[in-house]
Homo-oligomer: A and B are copies of this chain.
Amino acid sequence: MPARDEITYFGAGPASLPTTVLQNASSAILNFQNTGLGLAEHSHRSALSHGILASTESSLRTLLSIPEDYTVLFMQGGGTTQFSAVVYNLLGYWARMDYVVTGGWSQKGSEEARRLFGEEKVNVVTDSRKVFGRYCGIEEEKGWKRTEGEERVFTYYCDNETVDGVEFPGFPRSLEGGVVVADMSSNILSRRVDVSKFHVIFAGAQKNIGITGLTIVVLKSSILQIQPTPGTLRALGLPVPPVMMSYPSLAKHNSLYNTLPIFDVWIAGEVMKELVAAGGLAKQEEVANRKAERLYAALGRAPGIFKVVPLEGARSRMNICVRAHPAELEGVFLRGAEERGLLGLKGHRSVGGIRISNYNSITEASVDKLVQYIDEFVQKNA
């Protein structure tokens, strides 16, 4: 029967949350701010809920330095809902989609675009599986096959591939000045981002932001103006987005088109307040980099046992994917880790292996414990 501080959960999402936030949540769900009512019982249209929405948005704007001409939406349905929403909302105005496929999630995004609109609308700019045989790197941009001769194109990429451990080291240079959509579900709030380079950024909350059920969308407000009406879309032979995926409808209602899970918004707000107080994303970036470096260094000390899956230059700071050799050692490693309270280290079911998720809530002390375990494991099995 472990207490919270006896274990560390390195799962990829839902991820662990700061204990302080969960302690507050534990009280909030029963009786919020001495109102006699739990937070999940309060009306989403109450002044209290409006305050939570405003304060969470404000923290997000502070953390990401979101420009004034950007809108923040709180939505439901996770990143997968945004795979569809983004396309529905952009494809009326933009006529083509360029997908940068560097892992399982960008692949799923492109698959959904194809499913909704047909093969011919989707251009795959690069597919790491074709370039490297599997999702383990990012092709050099000069090899990318972007749509040419058509101005109305948007480009979609996934900034951090949770399953494959592949992360863009920074904004892709060749996309500068273009219309860019990014899935940042698993690395948002872990480093500074120049939001002005993007038209849409989205992220499911359950990794670095909060709990499952909330999705954050940051978009250039001008997008809201150019979306065609349902009638025009139909005349163009394009499907109308469901109202709950229509960015203009949600923006018009300040994300309250229907009942929003305010409890989830509040948790995200609490997490963000802690990040702001701790020094914002510059600090978070510094800590995340340091933690990732220590982990990669520990794995690198035993190249005979551990093999990091992604290539250098594309290795994620958030999800460290590694295989052990011989393969039987993986089970031994995972069991030994569990005995020490180091949990959630199993790779995604689609790829196997070991995955260390290194989100904001993982403390440096926890990383030290894991590094120590890795070192001991290597000594024992060398």
- Chain A residues in the interface with B (C-beta under 8 A): 1-4, 6-7, 9, 11, 13-17, 19, 22-23, 25-27, 29-31, 34-38, 40-45, 76-81, 83-85, 88, 112, 115-116, 118, 204, 206, 211-213, 230, 234, 237, 239-240, 242-245, 257-264, 341, 343-344, 349
Contact of A14 among B42, B115, B206 (CB under 8 A): B42
Q: Which residue of B has the minimal Cβ distance to A108?
A: B243
Contact of A239 among B239, B260, B264 (CB under 8 A): B239
A243: chain B residues at CB < 8 Å are: 80, 83-84, 112, 115
A257: chain B residues at CB < 8 Å are: 80
Known A26-B30, A38-B22, A76-B77; contact A242-B245, beta-carbon cutoff 8 A: yes
A-B contacts besides A40-B211, A239-B240, 12 pairs, CB < 8 Å: A7-B36, A9-B37, A9-B41, A14-B42, A14-B259, A37-B343, A78-B244, A80-B243, A84-B243, A118-B234, A212-B263, A261-B261
Q: Which residue of B has the minimal Cβ distance to A40?
A: B211
Contact of A29 among B25, B239, B240, B349 (CB under 8 A): B25
Q: Which 10 A-B pairs have the closest CB atoms?
A: A239-B239, A84-B242, A2-B36, A213-B261, A80-B258, A1-B34, A40-B211, A7-B36, A213-B213, A212-B261
Contact of A17 among B6, B38, B206, B234 (CB under 8 A): B38
Known A9-B37, A36-B341, A115-B230; contact A45-B79, beta-carbon cutoff 8 A: no
A38: chain B residues at CB < 8 Å are: 4, 17, 22
Interface contact B264-A213, CB-CB below 8 Å: yes
Provide a sorted-by-A list of 15 A–B residue pairs whose CB atoms are within 8 angstroms: A3-B31, A4-B30, A4-B36, A11-B43, A14-B40, A14-B41, A37-B343, A77-B244, A78-B244, A83-B243, A85-B242, A116-B242, A212-B259, A213-B264, A239-B239
A45: chain B residues at CB < 8 Å are: 349
Interface contact B23-A30, CB-CB below 8 Å: yes
Give Cα A84 to B260, complex, Å. Answer: 17
Question: Taking the nearest CB of chain B, how far is it from the CB of A202, in angstroms?
Answer: 13
If over half of A's interface residues share one DSSP class (helix, strand or loop), that class is named, otherwise mixed; here it is: loop
Give Cα A37 to B16, complex, Å. Answer: 8
Interface contact A13-B259, CB-CB below 8 Å: yes
Q: Which residue of B has the minimal Cβ distance to A257?
A: B80
A43: chain B residues at CB < 8 Å are: 11, 14, 344
Give Cα A230 to B212, complex, Å. Answer: 28
Interface core residue of A11, A79, A115 (most chain B CB under 10 Å)? A115
Q: Which residue of B has the minimal Cβ distance to A241?
A: B242
Give Cα A353 to B210, complex, Å. Answer: 37
Interface contact B77-A77, CB-CB below 8 Å: yes
Give Cα A89 to B372, complex, Å. Answer: 53
Q: Which residue of B has the minimal Cβ distance to A230?
A: B115
Interface contact B34-A2, CB-CB below 8 Å: yes
Q: Which residue of B has the minimal Cβ distance to A79?
A: B258
Question: Taking the nearest CB of chain B, how far is it from the CB of A352, in angstroms?
Answer: 14
Q: Which residue of B has the minimal Cβ distance to A37?
A: B9
Q: Which residue of B has the minimal Cβ distance to A237?
A: B237
Give Cα A187 to B23, complex, Å. Answer: 33
Known A26-B30, A40-B212, A259-B206; contact A242-B15, beta-carbon cutoff 8 A: no
A19: chain B residues at CB < 8 Å are: 30
Give Cα A81 to B240, complex, Å. Answer: 14
Known A22-B38, A26-B29; contact A244-B81, beta-carbon cutoff 8 A: yes
Question: Taking the nearest CB of chain B, how far is it from the CB of A346, in angstroms?
Answer: 9
A42: chain B residues at CB < 8 Å are: 14
A40: chain B residues at CB < 8 Å are: 14, 17, 206, 211-212
